[in-house]
């Protein structure tokens, strides 16, 4: 089956695309760190972050709409966690609801916290999307390796990237096979079928794991992962790093002064 | 003729106790192109896994007159290149380059040697220029070729292939057969595809229920219809049409 690319647009050519993956990985890491450490309601700082992302997106030539659309994926997850914050934080109430015999009020402080978290999550996911749409996954993996991330972790990422579509195909085929035979029946039976499918998928994946390992052994794998090291940290990377660090330092300073 | 592989009295049972191989004796000579045919579950794949020490074979298997030991395991795996049936098992890396480079890297080649080996192997299977692609975006035929490149990059002396043409369409199949025909190494091919056997191999063994029940030249065995039928391999229409019309590559 045909699949969309996880790293769509990563094969384009732009200033951002040409940067060393390590530079981008570290920049994104610092960016997310700075975003999460910023105090709440410091809107000027958050605007600065947003402008930074906007500049990067423009430089990367990746369609803005694509990045925006993908970034919305995170919102439901964040909402799930944060939706109750306004009702639990104490402070000046801005709205009070009567639900049956309960009285629930949302505080101004809680609402601010809620919006801040939402903005932080959104900024973080934006930076990650910029990263993955300007760097191919294999370059990212090489970058992680060169940054001395634990090999096992990099391998797990690599296998995940390689097999996620293989597994998706397997699930699709199982679903088609089920739907071809599944007519009517109680809801409970349908749920049971889904459970059985999950079990089957697990067993198949386990068996595939054994075959993949045998294929690795057949090509001389002995538990040590070896790679060709590529180093291409260039002037552009240096300039980019300096820019990012300056902007983030300015944001931190502003944060500190308030 | 010089021996490449000698198997003597090899028996093997799966971990759950079910017997898979029963007293197998087989000698493969250098330059052989050997087909191993047999019904599903005959033990073909299990036998192949013994050839490079994935399944323990103790003293029953000798590779170039040597038993497989921990010491020579890596060298054995270089000399015996094993290609698995499903390219999704054989190709596990993020890019084609990484997959083809995996063997050479594990053998400790230098960077220049690795790059050369990968370039040569991909050129041999006609897949140059695919280095940076990821294999899940390639067609099955393309993936099958790359699985062959992953062992060619280690310059094997024996190529062991498990069902190389399974699931391929006829054009993909004949392209692959052509490709394999040009490889000047000893080949052991497990398959049900009798057309492939006729086009590519000079010797056939039939494996059934973990035993070798026939061993002979292709012409005799493929025309011994009662024998083929007795072991679930009968394909009179297929064989007749293949021998009457001749295979396209010979045409």
Q: What are the tens digits of pLDDT across the range A115-126?
A: 899 999 999 999
* Full-model pTM: 0.79
- Pairing, β B61-63 against β B3-13: antiparallel
| End-to-end Cα spacing for chain A | 54
Confidence of residue A142 (pLDDT cuts 50, 70, 90): confident
Across the interface, of B49, B98, B136, the residue whose CB is closest to A214 is: B49
Tell me: do A32 and A120 sit in the same domain. yes
Tell me: do A105 and A199 sit in the same domain. no
Provide mean pLDDT across the span B25-53: 92
The count of structural domains within chain A is 2
Nearest-CA distance from B225 to chain A in Å?
A: 34
Confidence of residue A88 (pLDDT cuts 50, 70, 90): confident
pLDDT for the residue numbered B82: 95
pLDDT for the residue numbered A2: 63
pLDDT over threshold 90, residue B180: yes
Tell me: do A1 and A100 sit in the same domain. yes
Tell me: do A11 and A105 sit in the same domain. yes
pLDDT over threshold 60, residue A9: yes
Residue A41: CB atoms within 10 A of its CB come to 14
| Mean pLDDT score of chain B | 88
Tokens describing residue A205: 């994946």
Provide mean pLDDT across the span B242-249: 46
pLDDT per residue as tens digits for the range B102-144: 999 999 999 999 999 999 999 999 999 999 888 888 999 999 9
- For residue A217, which residues of chain B lie inside 8 Å, CB to CB? 54, 77
pLDDT for the residue numbered A104: 76
pLDDT for the residue numbered B246: 45
pLDDT for the residue numbered B243: 46
Q: A96 is in which domain, residue-wise?
A: 1-149+231-258
Tokens describing residue A38: 């910023």
Tell me: do A1 and A77 sit in the same domain. yes
Tell me: do A23 and A95 sit in the same domain. yes
Strands, sheet with B61-63, edge to edge from the N-terminal-most edge strand: B19-29, B3-13, B61-63, B66-67
Task: Kindly report which listed range (A58-62, A249-253, B3-7) carries the lowest average pLDDT score.
Answer: A249-253
Provide mean pLDDT across the span A149-157: 88
Q: Which residues contact A42 (CB under 8 A, 6 or more apart)?
A: A254, A255, A258
Provide mean pLDDT across the span A129-140: 89
Across the interface, of A161, A208, A219, the residue whose CB is closest to B106 is: A219
pLDDT over threshold 70, residue B226: yes
pLDDT for the residue numbered B57: 62
Task: With H, G, I as helix, E, B as strand and everything else as coil, classify residue A140.
Answer: helix
Tell me: do A160 and A95 sit in the same domain. no
| Mean pLDDT score of chain A | 86
Tell me: do A144 and A157 sit in the same domain. no
Number of H helices, E strands in chain A: 11, 2
- What share of chain A has pLDDT > 90, as a percent? 27
B89 and A215 within 8 Å at the Cβ level: the answer is yes
pLDDT for the residue numbered A4: 67
Q: Which residues contact B14 (CB under 8 A, 6 or more apart)?
A: B20, B46
A141 in contact with B at a CB cutoff of 8 Å? yes
Q: Which residues contact A230 (CB under 8 A, 6 or more apart)?
A: A142, A146
> Of B107 and A231, which is predicted with more confidence?
B107
Q: What is the dihedral of CA B141, B143, B146, B148, to 10 degrees?
A: -70
Q: Looking at residue A170, what DSSP letter applies? A: H
Tell me: do A179 and A81 sit in the same domain. no
**Structure ipTM over 0.90, yes or no:** no
Tell me: do A249 and A157 sit in the same domain. no
Structural domains of chain B sorted by starting position, each given as residue range(s) with its CATH number in brackets: 1-64+162-251 (3.40.50.300), 85-156 (no CATH)
B93 and A166 within 8 Å at the Cβ level: the answer is no
Tell me: do A26 and A129 sit in the same domain. yes
* Residues A200, B238: Cα–Cα separation, whole Å: 36
* Residues B134, B93: Cα–Cα separation, whole Å: 8
Residue to substitute from A143, A217, A219, interface B, most B β-carbons within 10 A: A219
Tell me: do A53 and A171 sit in the same domain. no
Nearest CA in chain B to A157: B94
């Amino acid at each position: 089956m045909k699949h969309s690319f996880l790293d769509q647009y990563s094969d384009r050519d732009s200033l951002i695309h040409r940067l060393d993956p390590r530079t981008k990985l570290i920049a994104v890491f610092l960016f997310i760190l700075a975003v999460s450490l910023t105090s709440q309601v410091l809107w000027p700082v958050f605007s600065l972050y947003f402008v930074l992302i906007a500049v990067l997106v423009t430089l990367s030539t990746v369609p803005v709409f694509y990045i925006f659309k993908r970034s919305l994926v995170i919102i439901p997850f964040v909402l799930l966690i944060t939706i109750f914050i306004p009702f639990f934080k104490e402070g000046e109430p801005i709205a009070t609801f009567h639900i049956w015999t309960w009285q629930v009020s949302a505080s101004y402080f809680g609402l601010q916290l809620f919006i801040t978290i939402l903005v932080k999550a959104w900024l973080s996911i934006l930076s990650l999307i910029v990263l993955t749409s300007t760097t191919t996954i294999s370059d990212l993996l090489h970058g992680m390796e060169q940054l001395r991330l634990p090999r096992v972790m990099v391998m797990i990422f690599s296998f995940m990237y390689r097999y996620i579509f293989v597994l998706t195909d397997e699930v699709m085929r199982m679903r088609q096979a089920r739907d071809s035979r599944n007519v009517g029946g109680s809801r409970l039976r349908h749920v049971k079928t889904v459970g059985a499918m999950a079990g089957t998928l697990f067993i198949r994946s386990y068996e595939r794991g054994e075959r993949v390992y045998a294929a690795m052994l057949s090509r001389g794998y002995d538990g040590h992962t070896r790679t060709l090291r590529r180093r291409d940290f260039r002037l552009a990377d240096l300039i980019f790093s300096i820019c990012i660090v300056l902007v983030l330092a300015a944001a931190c300073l502003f944060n500190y002064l308030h | 003729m010089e021996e490449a592989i000698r198997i003597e009295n090899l028996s093997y049972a799966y971990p759950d106790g079910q017997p898979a191989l029963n007293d197998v004796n087989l000698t493969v000579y250098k330059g052989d192109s050997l087909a191993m045919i047999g019904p599903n579950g005959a033990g073909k794949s299990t036998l192949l896994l013994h050839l490079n020490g994935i399944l323990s074979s103790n003293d029953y298997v000798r590779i170039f007159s040597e038993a497989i030991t921990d010491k020579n395991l890596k060298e054995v795996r270089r000399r015996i290149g094993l290609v698995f049936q499903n390219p999704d098992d054989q190709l596990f890396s993020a890019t084609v380059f990484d997959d083809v480079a995996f063997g050479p890297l594990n053998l400790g080649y230098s960077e220049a040697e690795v790059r050369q080996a990968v370039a040569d192997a991909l050129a041999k299977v006609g897949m140059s220029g695919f280095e940076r692609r990821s294999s899940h975006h390639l067609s099955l035929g393309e993936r099958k070729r790359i699985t062959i490149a992953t062992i060619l990059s280690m310059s094997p002396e024996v190529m062991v292939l498990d069902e190389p043409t399974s699931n391929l369409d006829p054009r993909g199949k004949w392209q692959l057969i052509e490709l394999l025909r040009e490889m000047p190494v000893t080949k052991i091919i497990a398959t049900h595809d009798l057309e492939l056997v006729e086009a590519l191999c000079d010797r056939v063994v039939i494996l059934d229920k973990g035993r070798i029940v026939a061993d002979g030249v292709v012409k005799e065995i493929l025309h011994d219809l009662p024998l083929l039928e007795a072991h679930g391999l009968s394909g009179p229409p297929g064989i007749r049409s293949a021998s009457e019309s001749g295979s396209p590559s010979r045409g």
